[in-house]
């Protein structure tokens, strides 16, 4: 269904030769509306055109890449090309053809970067398939450091295949791989540098607060070291967010001398802040310049379904018990932290690292439980697929190997255990063992827990300061005479916002404890009680003589510190006892085993399941009749001893493709580059059923995983089953992927719906600005700070069902959000109080706490913490959130603030008012920026097919409500409309059509239809309809006009981006200040598809004036020639052109 709207069938627009691709290929409708440049390059590999070794669309990529490589950027570096084809289209063979083309042009040295050395087999196959059998392929990991073209190494020519990780590797001698390959390329190198699977370099520009990856830096460095190289970026997921384009500087979208953006930050600010529509325009702009192609295999024949795996016993009982247990564990940690003096959960407090670890373990624990909950359903779906003659591919991310290895090392006897390892239980035990808050050990040799703190706040004299009654008390903390590391300096502060407050908090707490014992000492120098700083100096190893207080004697100090140490010993002893009790309690919990081991075991064991993951070993059942499991290396399944992980996965893949194993389990280790589809060349041609056990967090990895089973030359399209549990919190994992899939589709495919046109994840996109706003509204409603936008679903009456009052719902929601730390408790609320709130019928009062400002819009934190509640509670709270989100988006749509991405404009007649005008032309590619004036007639006559439909048409019992209506109140205008039920909607929804404005884009429910409108008989409605339609023909402007006049900037849009941005920002109405991208198709015989930026009619003269005025500090613009698209003839200079457009704006 989605494909018919989002995609169009693809064939090269301007390449006159080449055979059809073996499988149907499509392009997004948005990119399909953009014409690429004319073909000017002449191929040297004409023999491949005739043989069909490369299809027409693969040849098109090679032609445009070579054509682009003949162009140069303003900084004199050679332009690059971006192959963004989807997984399975045949990018590998396209690269091989590009290598052969350059080889025949006399360029004999090339670099091919990829993600793994195991892909060398595929690279060699692709080269052989295009007839390049004589071109040597040299895997760099098999070559020594040193001069590659020396007589000893002998790499004189060919393709050097290297991985991205090799770019950052170096020998012990200091020699680096990147310098080695640059030396081999030589000065003036003009061969190919292919960045295959280039998304590996995406994090060159990290999120705020992060650091750029070394791989991203080296990819950029390599391009700058080889400015004349023919660079090709190649990936189906090259940029899941605008910032991930940072390494693609050779595209020429930004940089000194470019007409749009002087630097990447400028580009990022403009594109990243203008919504999804802006990203879609970038993709179309790249195609118009001839630097980008992006096609994908058709999804026809593929099936996509989101499957809800029910929570079954015993997992449901496990989950409820786990939610209660984590609530108890949090109270235990809070009490232990208070007793140990390591601080609370507030940001900046000492002990904050403990709480970050606590909540991180909390998230991983419940994610493991979510995976375990799906295992029974996955097994049933897999068995049903096998019985139907299909085969199964199961995708996941977490293998649980680390926890398993720990248990095997600690408890296994000869590698044998009683049962599989429970990942959640081991994670819980490790949290308690490593992070249970304990008081410092006073008997440790020197207070290491103080001395290891951050060396901050040091002054020039190596002293620290404590603010005491406004007076600075300095303490000289000299180094131990046996320690040659230099003095350890402490910062003493209570500032919660200080970066080092986590460390400083413990020192402040120590001062508080020491002060209890210093009050009895007099200090004449300070004329007050002895400062705790005096005792601290003694505590950290200073002699009494070095302490500030001259009245402090050694006996007094020793007595005070002895009493303090004894108290800490008692606290530590009590803490250790409670820790051991917690360990004993959690050891006895019944929790699910490792999902991956369970899956393989229930589907027949390693003999029946091909495992392609990153783990080296696993637990398997012992022989029939013997209890327990044993640890074995994965090469025990038929691979030679000592084989690498790469060879093990290759062997397992072969077993699957040969049909010896009919179930495959893949993780990220097998989610890029490999093929598991029903290839016509392979033995196993069964249809693939692809089950997503665990969705990757990254959109890149999700697309890569989906693309393993949907590729070219397949006998069957796969059946995708995206498996989720009904737990609201699990949607957090889908949310992150959905947001990036939409962005990915917009940025690299020109339509945000393209990223989710296959797997339907768009409904899970909560991490948007609207998701954040909805969360803030929900928190305010729960805390009773505002009246909610909608009534909580749990409070809405349901036929035959019970419901609760809003007051009870909000109170119980507050109690549960308090229990998972989302609502921060008030100062007088203790952990015992929170527990009492949970059992109270009305929950917690509004005064029990507040949501911290930093948490109010934090959707990931909300969804993460939601996982820790019992399933029924999760459902109630999440349903309320989702209801508010829908209401928030609906309100934004009504107010024109919702970014729809590309909006389709429809009408009964869409025509061009005049020929498009060229307002700017790109100097490098020659592509033009065009201004279109379009007339859209929205009227619907009474004899149209829509109006003549039978009133009883529909798919449900409510279809009788379809028909003609009038508004319940008189408006003085034509008061008639047609309401038709949208097919397959239950409860029913209706779309409205009016005689003047045509078919509406939004739908309404049955209640709204009955409340706002009254039924009208067909005869009366027909008369009113015809009168309204005829009268509207005379009205061409204003609200409710039948014919709309639209101005559209299309073609190359980035060169005029800044001007459009300034003009839109100056518009008086908020809806006009937002960047709107529209798509339309003209009617009549000569149909034309257009996509571009909508410019308000009043803003067109301002935009043209902006374009006519030279930018500041730039030379006078050259006289551009206007080429009429229709005649191809020159129409004079640019100044005359702009004047001509200005004069014609008011003509309809």
Tens of pLDDT, residue by residue over 229-262, are: 999 999 877 555 778 888 999 999 998 888 778 8
Q: Which H or E run includes 935? A: strand 928-937
Q: What angle do CA 1100, 1102, 1104 make, to 5 degrees?
A: 70
Q: Assess whether pLDDT exceeds 80 at residue 1144.
A: no
d(CA 543, CA 533): 13
Q: Write down the pLDDT at residue 101.
A: 97
Mean pLDDT to the nearest integer, 380-407: 91
Q: 738 in helix, strand or coil?
A: helix
Q: What percentage of the chain carries pLDDT values higher than 90?
A: 26
Between 336 and 844, the more confident residue is 844
Q: Assess whether pLDDT exceeds 90 at residue 1136.
A: no
- What DSSP assignment string belongs to 949-1004? S-TT--SSGGGGG-EEEEESS--SS---EEEEEPTT-SS-EEEEEETTTEEEEEEE
**Using an 8 Å Cβ cutoff, are 338 and 404 in contact?**
no
pLDDT band for 682, please (50, 70, 90 cuts).
very high
Greatest alpha-carbon pair distance for the chain in Å reads: 109
Q: Is the dihedral of CA 587, 591, 597, 603 positive or negative?
A: positive
d(CA 334, CA 345): 8
**Using an 8 Å Cβ cutoff, are 696 and 657 in contact?**
no
Q: Assess whether pLDDT exceeds 50 at residue 124.
A: yes
pLDDT band for 670, please (50, 70, 90 cuts).
low
Q: Assess whether pLDDT exceeds 70 at residue 99.
A: yes
Between 644 and 1080, the more confident residue is 1080
**Using an 8 Å Cβ cutoff, are 114 and 163 in contact?**
yes
Mean pLDDT to the nearest integer, 195-220: 83
Mean of pLDDT over the chain: 77
pLDDT band for 380, please (50, 70, 90 cuts).
very high
**Using an 8 Å Cβ cutoff, are 155 and 181 in contact?**
no
Verify cis geometry, omega within 30 degrees of 0, for the bond prior to 314: yes
Q: What angle do CA 932, 936, 941 make, to 5 degrees?
A: 165
HSE-up (13 A, CA, CB side) for residue 461 = 6
| Strands annotated E in 268-417 | 292-293, 296-297, 303-308, 391-395, 416-417
**Using an 8 Å Cβ cutoff, are 253 and 45 in contact?**
no
d(CA 86, CA 3): 15
Give the count of beta carbons closer than 10 Å to the beta carbon of residue 1014: 11
β-pair type (25-28, 296-297):
antiparallel
pLDDT band for 901, please (50, 70, 90 cuts).
low
Between 6 and 1003, the more confident residue is 1003
Q: Write down the pLDDT at residue 707.
A: 78
**Using an 8 Å Cβ cutoff, are 659 and 683 in contact?**
yes
Q: Assess whether pLDDT exceeds 50 at residue 90.
A: yes
- Indicate the length of the chain as a whole number: 1148
> 403-412 b/e with 16+ CB inside 10 Å = b?
bbeebbeeeb
pLDDT band for 481, please (50, 70, 90 cuts).
very low
Q: What percentage of the chain carries pLDDT values higher than 70?
A: 74
d(CA 477, CA 547): 9
Q: Assess whether pLDDT exceeds 60 at residue 533.
A: no
Q: Write down the pLDDT at residue 385.
A: 96
Q: Assess whether pLDDT exceeds 80 at residue 711.
A: yes
**Using an 8 Å Cβ cutoff, are 258 and 97 in contact?**
no
Ranking 42-51, 826-835, 957-966, 1031-1040 by mean pLDDT, the lowest is: 1031-1040
Mean pLDDT to the nearest integer, 744-769: 48
Alpha helices by DSSP H, 14-55: 29-32, 46-51
Between 710 and 329, the more confident residue is 329
Ranking 595-609, 729-743, 891-905 by mean pLDDT, the lowest is: 729-743
Going by C-alpha positions, the residue among 1028, 1016, 1093, 1009 that lies closest to residue 1058 is 1093
pLDDT band for 109, please (50, 70, 90 cuts).
very high
Q: Write down the pLDDT at residue 603.
A: 94
Instruction: Give the list of residues 6+ apart from residue 555 with CB closer than 8 angstroms, or none.
Output: none
pLDDT band for 490, please (50, 70, 90 cuts).
very low
Between 906 and 731, the more confident residue is 906
Q: Which H or E run includes 968? A: none
Q: Write down the pLDDT at residue 57.
A: 92
| Per-residue pLDDT tens over the stretch 985-1044 | 777 888 888 888 888 877 888 888 888 898 988 888 888 888 888 888 766 666 667 888
Residue with tokens 């670099």: 111
Classify 446 in phi/psi space as left (phi over 0), alpha (psi -120 to 50) or beta: left
Instruction: Give the list of residues 6+ apart from residue 671 with CB closer than 8 angstroms, or none.
Output: 395, 696, 701, 704, 705, 708
Q: Write down the pLDDT at residue 597.
A: 92
Q: Which two tokens stand for residue 95?
A: 């690269």
pLDDT band for 199, please (50, 70, 90 cuts).
confident
Q: Assess whether pLDDT exceeds 70 at residue 283.
A: yes
Going by C-alpha positions, the residue among 23, 26, 24, 34 that lies closest to residue 7 is 26
Q: Write down the pLDDT at residue 552.
A: 52
| Phi, then psi, of 1010 in degrees rounded to 5 | -75, -30
Q: Which two tokens stand for residue 80?
A: 């690059």
**Superfamily of domain 62-273, CATH level 4:** Tandem AAA-ATPase domain (3.40.50.10810)
Between 1147 and 82, the more confident residue is 82
Residue with tokens 């707490």: 509
Q: Write down the pLDDT at residue 1107.
A: 85
DSSP state of 797: -
| Strands annotated E in 165-282 | 192-196, 230-234
pLDDT band for 776, please (50, 70, 90 cuts).
very high
> 517-547 b/e with 16+ CB inside 10 Å = b?
bbeebebeebeeebbbbbbbbbbbbbebeeb
DSSP state of 498: S
**Using an 8 Å Cβ cutoff, are 381 and 691 in contact?**
yes
Beta bridge partners of 964: 978
Going by C-alpha positions, the residue among 344, 123, 261 that lies closest to residue 1055 is 261
Q: Write down the pLDDT at residue 485.
A: 31
pLDDT band for 751, please (50, 70, 90 cuts).
very low
d(CA 450, CA 513): 14
Q: Write down the pLDDT at residue 193.
A: 97
> 686-710 b/e with 16+ CB inside 10 Å = b?
bbbbbbbbbbbbbbbbbbbbbbbbb
d(CA 362, CA 317): 18
pLDDT band for 175, please (50, 70, 90 cuts).
confident
d(CA 385, CA 378): 10
HSE-up (13 A, CA, CB side) for residue 999 = 15
| Per-residue pLDDT tens over the stretch 399-439 | 888 888 888 888 888 888 888 988 888 889 999 999 898 88
Give the count of beta carbons closer than 10 Å to the beta carbon of residue 905: 19
Q: Which H or E run includes 438? A: none
Q: Assess whether pLDDT exceeds 70 at residue 683.
A: yes
**Using an 8 Å Cβ cutoff, are 931 and 919 in contact?**
yes
Q: Assess whether pLDDT exceeds 50 at residue 718.
A: yes
Q: 927 in helix, strand or coil?
A: coil
Q: Is the dihedral of CA 1115, 1117, 81, 188 positive or negative?
A: negative
| Per-residue pLDDT tens over the stretch 1059-1098 | 888 899 899 887 788 778 888 889 888 888 888 889 999 9
| Strands annotated E in 810-888 | 823-825, 849-851
Q: Write down the pLDDT at residue 4.
A: 38
pLDDT band for 655, please (50, 70, 90 cuts).
very high
Q: Write down the pLDDT at residue 755.
A: 41
Ranking 526-530, 658-662, 810-814 by mean pLDDT, the lowest is: 526-530
Going by C-alpha positions, the residue among 527, 581, 578 that lies closest to residue 551 is 527
Between 959 and 401, the more confident residue is 401
pLDDT band for 885, please (50, 70, 90 cuts).
confident
Q: Assess whether pLDDT exceeds 60 at residue 387.
A: yes
CA dihedral (881, 897, 240, 78) in degrees, to 10, reads -170
- Domain extents in the chain: 62-273, 448-571, 785-894, 905-938+1042-1144, 957-1032
């Amino acid at each position: 269904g989605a494909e018919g709207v989002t995609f169009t069938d693809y064939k090269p627009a301007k390449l006159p030769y080449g055979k059809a691709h073996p499988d149907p290929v499509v392009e997004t409708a948005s990119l399909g509306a953009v014409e690429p440049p004319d073909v000017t390059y002449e191929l040297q590999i004409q023999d491949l055109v005739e043989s069909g070794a490369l299809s027409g669309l693969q040849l098109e990529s090679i032609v445009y890449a070579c054509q682009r490589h003949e162009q140069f950027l303003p900084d004199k570096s050679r332009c690059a090309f971006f192959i963004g084809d989807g997984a399975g289209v045949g990018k590998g063979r396209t690269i091989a053809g590009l290598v052969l083309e350059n080889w025949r042009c006399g360029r004999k040295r090339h670099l091919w970067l990829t993600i793994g050395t195991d892909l060398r087999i595929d690279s060699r196959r692709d080269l052989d398939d295009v007839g390049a059998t004589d071109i040597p392929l040299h895997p760099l990991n098999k070559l020594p450091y040193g001069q590659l073209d020396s007589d000893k190494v002998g790499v004189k020519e060919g393709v050097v295949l290297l991985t991205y990780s090799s770019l950052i590797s170096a020998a012990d001698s200091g020699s680096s791989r990147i310098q080695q390959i640059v030396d081999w390329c030589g000065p003036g190198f003009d061969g190919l540098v292919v960045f295959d699977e280039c998304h590996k370099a995406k994090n060159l520009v990290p999120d705020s607060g992060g650091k750029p990856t070394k791989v991203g830096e080296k990819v950029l460095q390599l391009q700058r070291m080889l400015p004349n190289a023919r660079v090709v970026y190649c990936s189906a997921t090259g940029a899941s967010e605008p910032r991930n384009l940072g390494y693609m500087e050779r595209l020429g979208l930004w940089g000194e001398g470019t007409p749009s953006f002087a630097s990447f930050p400028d580009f990022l600010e403009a594109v990243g802040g203008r919504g999804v529509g802006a990203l879609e325009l970038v993709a179309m702009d790249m195609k118009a310049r001839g630097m980008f192609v992006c096609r994908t295999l058709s999804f026809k024949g593929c099936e996509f379904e989101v499957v809800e795996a029910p929570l079954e016993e015993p997992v449901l009982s496990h989950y409820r018990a786990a939610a209660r247990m984590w609530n108890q564990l949090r109270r235990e940690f809070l009490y232990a932290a208070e007793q140990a003096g390591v601080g609370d959960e507030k940001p900046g407090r000492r002990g904050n690292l403990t709480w970050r670890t606590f909540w991180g373990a909390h998230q991983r624990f419940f994610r493991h439980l979510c995976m375990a909950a799906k295992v029974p359903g996955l097994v049933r779906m897999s068995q049903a697929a096998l019985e139907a003659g299909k085969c199964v591919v199961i995708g996941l991310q977490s293998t649980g190997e680390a926890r398993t290895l720990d248990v095997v090392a600690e408890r296994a006897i000869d590698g044998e255990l009683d049962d599989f390892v429970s990942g959640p239980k081991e994670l819980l035990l490790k949290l308690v063992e490593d992070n249970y808050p304990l008081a410092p050990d006073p008997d440790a040799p020197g207070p290491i827990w103080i001395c290891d703190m951050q060396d901050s706040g040091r002054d020039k004299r190596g002293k620290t300061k404590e603010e005491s009654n406004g007076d600075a008390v300095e303490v000289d903390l000299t180094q131990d005479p046996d320690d040659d590391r230099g003095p350890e300096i402490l910062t003493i502060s209570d500032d919660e916002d200080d970066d080092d407050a986590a460390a400083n908090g413990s020192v402040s707490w120590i001062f508080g404890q020491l002060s209890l014992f210093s009050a009895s000492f007099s200090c004449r120098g300070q004329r007050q009680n002895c400062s705790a700083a005096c005792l601290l100096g003694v505590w950290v190893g200073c002699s009494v003589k070095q302490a500030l207080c001259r009245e402090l004697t050694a006996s007094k100090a020793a007595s005070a510190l002895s009493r303090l140490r004894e108290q800490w010993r008692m606290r530590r002893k009590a803490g250790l006892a409670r820790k051991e009790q917690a360990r004993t309690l959690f050891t006895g919990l019944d929790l699910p085993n490792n999902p991956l081991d369970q899956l393989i075991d229930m589907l027949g064991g390693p003999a029946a399941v091909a495992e392609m993951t990153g783990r080296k070993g696993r637990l398997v059942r012992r022989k029939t009749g013997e209890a327990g499991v044993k640890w074995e290396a994965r090469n025990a399944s038929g691979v030679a001893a000592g084989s690498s992980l790469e060879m093990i996965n290759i062997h397992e893949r072969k077993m699957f493709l040969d049909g010896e194993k009919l179930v495959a389990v893949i993780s990220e280790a097998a989610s890029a580059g490999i093929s598991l589809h029903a290839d016509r060349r392979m033995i196993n041609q069964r249809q693939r059923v692809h089950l997503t056990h665990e969705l990757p967090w990254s959109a890149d990895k999700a697309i890569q995983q989906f693309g393993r089973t949907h590729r070219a030359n397949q006998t069957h399209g796969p059946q995708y089953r995206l498996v989720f549990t009904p737990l609201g919190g699990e949607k957090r994992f889908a949310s992150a992927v959905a947001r990036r899939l939409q962005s990915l589709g917009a940025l690299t495919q020109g339509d945000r719906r393209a990223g989710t046109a296959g797997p339907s994840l768009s409904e899970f996109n909560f991490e948007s600005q609207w998701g954040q706003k909805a969360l803030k509204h929900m928190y305010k409603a729960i805390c009773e700070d505002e009246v909610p936008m909608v009534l909580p679903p749990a409070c809405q009456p349901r036929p035959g069902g019970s419901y609760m009052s809003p007051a009870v719902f909000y109170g119980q929601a507050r109690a549960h959000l308090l229990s998972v730390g989302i609502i921060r408790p008030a100062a007088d609320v203790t952990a015992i109080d929170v527990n009492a709130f949970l059992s109270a019928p009305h929950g917690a009062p509004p005064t029990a706490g507040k949501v911290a400002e930093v948490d109010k819009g934090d959707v990931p934190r909300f969804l993460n913490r939601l996982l820790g509640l019992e399933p029924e509670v999760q459902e109630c709270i999440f349903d309320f959130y989702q209801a508010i989100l829908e209401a928030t988006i609906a309100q934004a749509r009504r107010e024109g603030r919702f970014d729809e991405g590309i909006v389709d404009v429809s009408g009964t007649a869409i025509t061009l008012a005049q020929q498009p005008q060229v307002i700017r032309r790109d100097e490098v590619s020659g592509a033009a920026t065009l201004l279109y004036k379009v007339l859209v007639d929205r009227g619907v006559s009474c004899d149209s097919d829509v109006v003549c439909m039978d009133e009883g048409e529909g798919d449900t019992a409510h279809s009788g409500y379809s028909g003609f209506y009038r508004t319940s109140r008189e408006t003085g205008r034509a008061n008639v409309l047609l309401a038709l039920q949208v097919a397959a909607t239950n409860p029913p929804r209706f779309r409205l059509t009016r005689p003047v404005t045509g078919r509406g884009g939004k739908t309404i429910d049955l209640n709204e239809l009955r409340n706002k409108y009254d039924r009208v008989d067909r005869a009366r409605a027909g008369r009113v309809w015809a009168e309204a339609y005829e009268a509207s023909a005379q009205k061409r402007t204003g609200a409710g006009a039948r014919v709309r006049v639209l101005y559209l900037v299309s073609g190359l849009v980035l060169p005029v981006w800044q001007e459009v941005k300034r003009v839109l920002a100056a518009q008086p109405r908020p809806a006009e200040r937002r960047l709107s991208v529209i798509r339309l198709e003209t009617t009549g015989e000569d149909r034309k598809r257009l996509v571009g930026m909508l410019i308000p009619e009043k803003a067109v003269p301002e935009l043209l004036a902006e374009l006519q005025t030279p930018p500041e500090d730039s030379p006078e613009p050259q006289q551009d020639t206007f080429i009429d698209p229709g005649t191809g003839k020159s129409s004079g200079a640019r100044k005359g052109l702009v004047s001509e457009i200005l004069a014609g704006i008011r003509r309809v």
